[in-house]
Amino acid sequence: METEINKALATLKAGGVILYPTDTIWGLGCDVTNPIAIEKIYALKKRIDSKALISLVADKKQLKNIIGNIPDFDITSTPTTVIYPKTKGLNPNLLAKNDSAAIRIVQDDFCKQLIQIFGKAIVSTSANISGNEAPKQFSEISEEIKDNVDYIVNLRQNELMSTPSTILLINEDGSIKKIR
């Protein structure tokens, strides 16, 4: 795993896009502060850039750096992506029109270690062309995606992945709504 972390880390630092297994599904990722890498993901997915992308953090400390106060509910026991109304430190093209951002504390060991060593959040979006079904295993990822990323992580490629994360929305008034 150390070799894969080092290769993925070098790719992220160089402004590249990685194809990697997450705690939910196979994802496309890059540095959340690099607008060129983020645009590459939008182009690769053929996705309109008005649709926000999820960011992954390693722990509550990284989350606190982005959102300030952490809500008082469990966001770490199962893969749960939370849409926060206000953030800081994320590239504007990751945000929704209302400036909210979707962020998940990752559960996967590879992702957690990669993000900790990288020192900041990374983008995570399903490894598919927009509108197509998210791949549940590496073999379902299109060749178009595989051929156009900068690095493919060589872990868990035979594993059947789980379903996407639960998504919760925190409204401006602090109320919570389950989206998925």
Query: Could you give phi then psi for residue 83, rounded to 5 degrees?
Result: -95, 110
What single string gives the DSSP state of each residue in 6-47? HHHHHHHHTT--EEEE-SSSEEEE-BTT-HHHHHHHHHHHT-
Of 140, 141, 107, 104, the C-alpha closest to 28 is 141
Secondary structure of residue 57 in the 3-state scheme:
strand
- 127-136 per-position pLDDT tens digit: 999 989 888 8
Q: What is the pLDDT of residue 164?
A: 72
Q: What is the pLDDT of residue 170?
A: 85
Does the pLDDT at position 161 exceed 80?
A: yes
**Token pair of 66, please?**
């982005």
- 61-115 per-position pLDDT tens digit: 999 999 888 777 766 668 888 998 888 888 888 888 888 899 999 989 999 999 9
Mean pLDDT of the chain: 90
Half-sphere CA count of 147, side-chain side, radius 13 A: 4
Q: What residues make up the domain containing 169?
A: 2-178
How many domains does the structure of the chain reveal?
1
Q: Where residue 116 sits, what CATH number does that domain have? A: 3.90.870.10
What is the rounded CA–CA span in Å between residue 34 and residue 43? 15
Q: What is the pLDDT of residue 74?
A: 67
Of 25-29, 98-102, 133-137, 160-164, minimum mean pLDDT range? 160-164
